[in-house]
């Protein structure tokens, strides 16, 4: 469960202030499938970063799964990210010198899981995301769709409660993008909360709840 | 993230940034190798000099005629007198001093040696049986001048001389002629090579009485004295100077020098030189450290978005700091090990090229070289690692 109360995030550029989030209130229940849409610069990514504990709001309150996470220390925020949040990015963000399998393994390593268990979990993920024959390939040798599948496998290997995707199909062509969305929706069906930021109306419409943003404020929220 | 994963992950990073890593390892290795080679050279020079001196004898006190002092000059010279000579009686007199273990009078001259139709000029030492132990000489054949047999016409030949005159190697027992006198070869010196510019392979040694007769003199060139112990060197020196002053009617007309004082001075100078040289080499390691820091800072900048990703995946700052830190450890370890190997190879080549120079790197220098590489590498990584750990995840992800 995600509960944002009066969240404000202000960026200062010289003496200019940008209110990227301006008093945002938002409740998202566990297992929801939400799309966030809005013009460029409306604060979608900032909202996602705050929800994912990558960014700190300047004011307001954030409650995640019943506990207040607004004022957690940096180390605690890292732990919550590791345990509860999965990120999927437009530009995949794979480590170029690691193979597909090694990229998927990273969160398990950070979590300190033993190598034997890591291997079986990575193998299972490679299977589930149809990447078996690409396990030993580096990102440069993978297609865009394959890269995003590796990124999704990595984001979900620790079974997060919420999956945050910021324009996950932005770098993919329409057909591959639809495949990736289907994959994410599969994870949603398995119980994960799914929040997708997108510019694509068609893809956005597939969500069960549609949030519209403008100038750092939520201007529409319909199911 | 546990230690093992940190080490393996950072190792694979080091390996995959091949050029960058090679550059750092090379800089480190050259610094360490410089420390090892230069200290090996310095230490080799020190050992060479010390070896040269101690091959002359241990606890050695040398008495020579005349006052080798710049202040005042010869006391007698001012009065138009020649300083008194050293004699065999002087030698015998000081041999009774309690600090003196043994002594050998020494006469030096040049004479013509002939045997079996061959003839050549040789340097002749006149001395006693005690010369052998005092000067640490060794025999390859026969025996040295017999003890107390100063009146028997024996001769000991240097190895080169023995070979020239008796190529069959049967020198012992043969008769030779030195000047107008006949001598019997009692022994042959082992090969000693050059020592302090004096080649003992081409000398002949005869009893001191014969030498004085041969050179028509009753004075001595030197008296070599071996003190009872290292601690007895200075007392022996004082006692000898005092005794001879008394014997010479209160005139200080001899000079007593100790091998030890000269040796200690050389030892000190050369040790200081080695240290200085090691210090200079260590500076190249510090330069390598600065290089490491710069390259690591560039690496942090290059991998900003990767650091952001690790943070998004939930890596705490400590993990990221440790990853960069571990990279520096790997690089410095490799640099230290390769430099150590290179340095030892260099020292080995120096020893091959100059066999007389015992250019072994001292253990402390090798250790200090490798340790300095590790410490500089690790220190140099602290700032970049801290910078990486401090990055704001959102900005880092966007590569800013
Ligand atoms: N680090 C920053 N420093 C200064 N201003 C920022 C920073 N991050 C975001 N902003 C500003 O905050 C506002 C919201 O940015 P945000 O990235 O959330 O928009 P967005 O809705 O994701 O846009 P897009 O669709 O283009 O990705 C923008 O005006 C942006 O310029
Ligand atoms: Mg955005």
Which residue has its alpha carbon closest to ligand 1 atom 11? Answer: A20
Residue A144: pLDDT over 80: yes
Q: What's the pLDDT at A29?
A: 94
Per DSSP, the three-state class of A87 is strand
- The candidate with the shortest Cα–Cα distance to B141, out of B116, B162, B113, is B162
ipTM (interface predicted TM): 0.94
Indicate whether A223 pLDDT > 70.
yes
User: Which residues of A make CB contacts under 8 Å with B?
Assistant: 49, 52, 54-55, 74-75, 78-83, 85, 87, 89, 93, 95, 97-98, 106-107, 109-112, 154
Per CATH, is A2-222 categorized as 3.20.20.80? no
Residue A8 has pLDDT above 60, yes or no: yes
Q: Where are the alpha helices (DSSP H) in chain B?
A: 3-16, 18-54, 75-78, 88-95, 131-134, 159-165, 208-214, 233-247, 259-302, 304-312, 317-353, 363-390, 393-397
Q: Provide, rounded to the nearest whole percent, the portion of chain B with pLDDT above 90.
A: 36
Least confident of A126-130, B35-39, B170-174, B271-275: B271-275
Are A110 and B306 within 8 A, CB to CB?
A: no
Backbone phi and psi for residue B154, each to the nearest 5 degrees, phi listed first: -105, 155
Take atom 31 of ligand 1 and give the residue whose Cα is closest.
A41
- Provide, as residue numbers in chain A, all residues whose Cβ is less than 8 Å from the Cβ of B394: 49, 54-55
* Residues making up chain B, counted from first to last: 400
* Secondary structure E strands in chain A: 2-13, 16-28, 33-37, 59-64, 67-68, 85-89, 162-166, 193-197, 209-214, 217-222
Is residue A1 within 8 Å of residue A64, measured between CB atoms?
A: yes
Q: Stretch A129-142: mean pLDDT, rounded? A: 93
Q: What is the mean pLDDT of chain B?
A: 85
Mean pLDDT of the B291-312 span: 88
Q: According to the model, what pLDDT value does residue B150 have? A: 63
- Eight-class DSSP state of A114: -
Angle of helix B317-353 versus helix B304-312 axis, rounded to 10:
130
Report d(CA B264, CA B50) in Å as an integer.
9
Q: What sign for the dihedral angle of Cα B228, B232, B237, B243?
A: negative
The answer, yes or no, to whether any atom of ligand 1 lies below 6 A from the CB of A198, is no
Nearest atom within ligand 1 for CA of residue A213:
21
pLDDT tens for residues B111-149? Answer: 999 998 899 999 999 999 998 888 888 899 999 988 876
pLDDT winner (highest mean) among B5-14, B46-55, B226-235 = B5-14
Dihedral of alpha carbons A29, A31, A32, A34, sign: positive
**pLDDT mean over B333-344:** 92
pLDDT given for residue B78 in this prediction: 42
Domain boundaries, chain A: 2-222
Q: What is the pLDDT of residues B350-389, one digit of tens each?
A: 999 988 888 888 888 888 888 888 888 888 889 899 999 9
Closest chain A residue to B313 measured between Cα atoms?
A82
* Closest CA relative to residue A21, chosen from A61, A64, A58: A58
**Ligand 2 centre and the CA of A77: distance in Å?**
22
For ligand 1, whether the C-beta of A46 sits within 6 Å is yes
Q: Do A78 and B315 touch (CB under 8 A)?
A: yes
Ranges A18-32, A47-61, B268-282: which has the least confidence: B268-282
Interface membership of B7 toward A (CB under 8 Å): no
* Nearest CA owner, ligand 1 atom 22: A45
Verdict on whether the full-model pTM lies above 0.80: no
Domain coordinates of chain B in residue numbers? 3-53+264-397, 104-223
Contacts of B314 in chain A (CB under 8 A): 78-83, 85, 107, 110-111
What b-and-e string marks burial along A153-177, b requiring 16 or more CB atoms within 10 Å of the CB? bbbbbbebbbbbbbbbbebbeeebb
- The Cα–Cα gap between B365 and B274 comes to 9
Determine which residue's CA is closest to atom 12 belonging to ligand 1.
Answer: A20
CB A56 within 8 A of CB A8: no
Backbone angle region of A53, left / alpha / beta, with phi > 0 → left and psi within -120 to 50 → alpha = left
CB contact under 8 A, B316 and A74: yes
pLDDT at B195 over 60: no
pLDDT band at B266 (very low <50, low <70, confident <90, very high): confident
Q: What is the pLDDT of residue B149?
A: 62
Confidence band of B194 (pLDDT split at 50, 70, 90): low
The 10s digit of each residue's pLDDT in B63-85 is 988 875 544 444 444 444 455 78
């Amino acid at each position: 469960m995600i509960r944002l109360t009066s969240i404000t995030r202000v960026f200062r550029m010289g003496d200019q202030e940008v209110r990227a989030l301006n008093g945002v209130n938002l409740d998202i229940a566990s297992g929801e499938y939400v799309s966030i849409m809005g013009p460029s610069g409306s604060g979608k990514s900032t909202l996602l970063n705050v929800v994912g504990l990558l960014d700190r709001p300047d004011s307001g309150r954030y409650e995640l799964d019943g506990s207040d996470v607004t004022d957690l220390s940096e180390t605690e925020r890292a732990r919550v990210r590791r345990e509860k949040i999965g990120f999927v990015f437009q530009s995949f963000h794979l480590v170029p010198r690691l193979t597909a399998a090694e990229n998927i393994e990273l969160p398990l390593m950070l979590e300190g899981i033993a190598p034997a268990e890591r291997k079986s979990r990575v193998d299972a993920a490679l299977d589930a995301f149809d990447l078996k024959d690409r396990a030993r390939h580096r990102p440069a040798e993978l297609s865009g769709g394959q890269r995003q599948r590796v990124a999704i496998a990595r984001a979900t290997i620790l079974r997060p409660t919420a999956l945050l995707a910021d324009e996950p199909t932005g770098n993919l062509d329409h057909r591959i993008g639809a495949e990736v969305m289907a994959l994410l929706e599969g994870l949603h069906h398995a119980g994960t909360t799914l929040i997708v930021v997108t510019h694509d109306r068609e893809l956005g419409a597939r969500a069960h709840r549609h949030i519209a943003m403008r100038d750092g404020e939520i201007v529409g929220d319909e199911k | 993230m546990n230690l093992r994963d940190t080490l393996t992950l950072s190792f694979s990073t080091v390996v995959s940034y091949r050029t960058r890593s090679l550059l750092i390892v090379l800089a480190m290795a050259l610094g360490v190798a410089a420390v090892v080679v230069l200290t090996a050279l310095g230490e080799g020079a020190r050992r060479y000099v010390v070896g040269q001196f101690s091959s002359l004898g241990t606890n050695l006190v040398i008495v020579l005629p005349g006052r080798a002092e710049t202040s005042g000059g010869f006391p007698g010279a001012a009065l138009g007198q020649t300083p008194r000579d050293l004699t065999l009686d002087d030698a015998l007199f000081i041999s009774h001093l309690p600090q003196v273990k043994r002594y050998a009078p020494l006469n030096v001259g040049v004479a013509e040696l002939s045997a079996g139709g061959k003839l050549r000029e040789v340097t002749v030492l006149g001395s006693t049986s005690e010369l052998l132990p005092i000067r640490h000489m060794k025999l390859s054949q026969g025996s040295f001048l017999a003890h107390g047999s100063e009146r028997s016409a024996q001769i000991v030949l240097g190895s080169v001389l023995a070979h020239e005159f008796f190529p069959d190697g049967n020198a012992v027992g043969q008769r030779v002629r030195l000047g107008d006198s006949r001598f019997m070869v009692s022994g042959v010196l082992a090969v000693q090579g050059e020592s302090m510019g004096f080649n003992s392979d081409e000398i002949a040694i005869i009893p001191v009485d014969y030498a004085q007769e041969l050179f028509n003199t009753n004075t001595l060139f030197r008296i070599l004295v071996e003190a009872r112990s290292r601690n007895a060197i200075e007392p022996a020196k004082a006692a000898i100077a005092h005794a001879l002053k008394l014997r010479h009617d209160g005139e200080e007309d001899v000079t007593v020098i100790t091998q030890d004082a000269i040796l200690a001075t050389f030892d000190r100078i050369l040790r200081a030189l080695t240290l200085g040289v090691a210090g200079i080499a260590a500076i190249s390691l510090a330069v390598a450290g600065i290089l490491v820091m710069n390259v690591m800072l560039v690496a942090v900048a290059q991998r900003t978005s990767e650091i952001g990703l690790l943070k998004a995946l939930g890596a705490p700052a400590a993990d990221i700091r440790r990853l960069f830190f571990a990279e520096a450890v790997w690089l410095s370890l490799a640099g230290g090990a390769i430099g150590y190997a290179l340095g030892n190879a260099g020292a080995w080549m120096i020893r091959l090229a100059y066999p007389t120079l015992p250019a072994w790197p001292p253990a402390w220098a090798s250790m200090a070289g490798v340790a300095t590489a590790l410490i500089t590498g690790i220190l140099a990584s602290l700032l970049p690692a801290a910078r990486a750990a401090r990055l704001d995840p959102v900005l880092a992800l966007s590569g800013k």
